Amino acid sequence: MPKLFSYGTLQQKNVQLANFGRELNGHKDILQGYIIGEVEITDERVLRESGKAFHPILRLSGNNADEVPGTVFELTDAELAQADDYEVDAYMRLKAVLKSGTECWIYAAAD
């Protein structure tokens, strides 16, 4: 099953229920080499589901001293596609290795 590292709204129970129809179980981990920025959300569906006009967004720093805490979730392939649909165009999905050594997907800044 694919693993997804979430540091933002996909950790919210209401967002999980809206997108996956279930609450996800996960475990804490850390992503190194990134910092958190912010992106304004204008997509009506995402605004409604998250309840937030500004979402965090990962920006590559390349410095392993920079760490972003989050949660790793195991998803089905269909759920990963649903997560792709939820994320706006400012994000792109990338492979990453977390501090624990876990390989997973992340959503980072597309620019």
- The per-residue b/e assignment along 50-66, b for 16 or more CB within 10 angstroms, e otherwise, is beeeebbbbbeeeeeee
Rounded distance, CA 76 to CA 80, Å? 6
Within a 13 Å sphere around the CA of 92, how many CA atoms are in the beta-carbon half?
7
Pair 104, 34: CB distance under 8 Å: no
Rounded distance, CA 40 to CA 91, Å? 12
> What residues does each domain of the chain span?
3-109
User: Measuring CA to CA, which residue among 53, 63, 64 is closest to residue 88?
Assistant: 53
N- to C-terminal Cα separation, the chain: 28
Predicted model pTM? 0.93
Q: Dihedral angle at the C-alpha atoms of 56, 58, 61, 63, nearest 10 degrees?
A: 100
Mean pLDDT, the chain, as a whole number? 96
Average pLDDT estimate for 96-111: 96
Position 111 pLDDT exceeds 90: no
pLDDT per residue as tens digits for the range 25-50: 999 999 999 999 999 999 999 999 99
| Fold annotation for 3-109 | Hypothetical upf0131 protein ytfp (3.10.490)
Position 78 pLDDT exceeds 90: yes
